[in-house]
Chain A
């Protein structure tokens, strides 16, 4: 079974703090993704990576950065958290050469106060 883990299920941070969200997958997947999910807006892609050291902006990258130093780990960074970044953050991974189905971690519910 594919396993995608995220460092925290719930996180509360203050406005202006730097926030790190970690994601690790154990199935040697090349592709990794960060999404946020908000009521009425669905899943929105923040950043993705098709390989180590590679990163590409998704649909809503503003206010975020990412790091992929190792194949199994993809980190999302909020440089200066703001209240509009309160959301559910979901990490996913997929295999190159498959039919592109993605496997998700359990999510991190981030609240910025």
Chain B
């Protein structure tokens, strides 16, 4: 069964903290990797794609380790507005490569 595993949290951190989320995926045929963000009672929105070389977008850094089938997201200098659920997502690969497999999400709560 193709799965994406994440620590559900919640992660409760103070403003300004650095927080890291990890996930593992089971499907070695996956070629595309993402982090999505979902606010309470809202739809998931693409936060960033994850590339093999690692990539950074402002306070957010994503890393991919294909050999270990492991993806990470680092958030520096946390803001109150970062409070959300973060979904680790990989594509299914093979004949259904347009399909995405979603982790159940890690909940982040940033406190003043």
Using a CB–CB cutoff of 8 Å, the interface residues on chain A facing chain B are 31, 33, 40-43, 45, 48, 50, 56, 58, 90, 94, 96, 99-107
Q: How many residues of chain B have a CB within 8 Å of chain A?
A: 19
Query: Does B94 make an interface contact (CB < 8 A)?
Result: no
Chain B positions within 8 Å of A56 at CB level: 96
| A–B complex contacts, Cβ < 8 Å, 8 sampled | A41-B104, A42-B87, A42-B103, A90-B43, A90-B44, A96-B98, A101-B49, A107-B43
Interface residues of B in 70-112 (CB under 8 A from A): 87, 91, 96-100, 102-105
CB distance from A7 to the nearest CB of B (A): 15
Docked CA distance A88–B99 (Å): 19
Pick from B43, B49, B98: contact of A94, CB under 8 Å: B98
Q: Determine which of A48, A100, A105 lies in contact with B43 in the assembled complex, contact meaning CB atoms within 8 Å.
A: A105
Cα distance A99–B93 in the bound complex, in angstroms: 11
| A69 to B: closest C-beta gap in Å | 20
Q: Which residues of the other chain, B, contact A105 by a CB distance below 8 angstroms?
A: 43
Name the distance in Å between B85's Cβ and chain A's nearest Cβ: 10
Number of A-B contacts (CB under 8 A): 45
Tell whether B22 is near chain A: CB-to-CB under 8 Å: no
Distance of A24 from chain B, by nearest CB (Å): 15
Select one of B44, B96, B103, B104 contacting A104, CB under 8 A: B44
State A58–B42 Cα separation when bound (angstroms): 22
A42 & B104 in contact (Cβ 8 Å cutoff): yes
CB-based nearest A residue for B6: A42
A residues within 8 A CB of B45? 104
Measured in the bound complex, the distance between the Cα atoms of B45 and A31 in whole Å is 17
**Chain B residues, CB < 8 A from A99:** 32, 49, 91
> Do B104 and A40 have beta carbons less than 8 Å apart?
yes
Decide: B102 and A100 in contact? CB cutoff 8 A. Answer: no
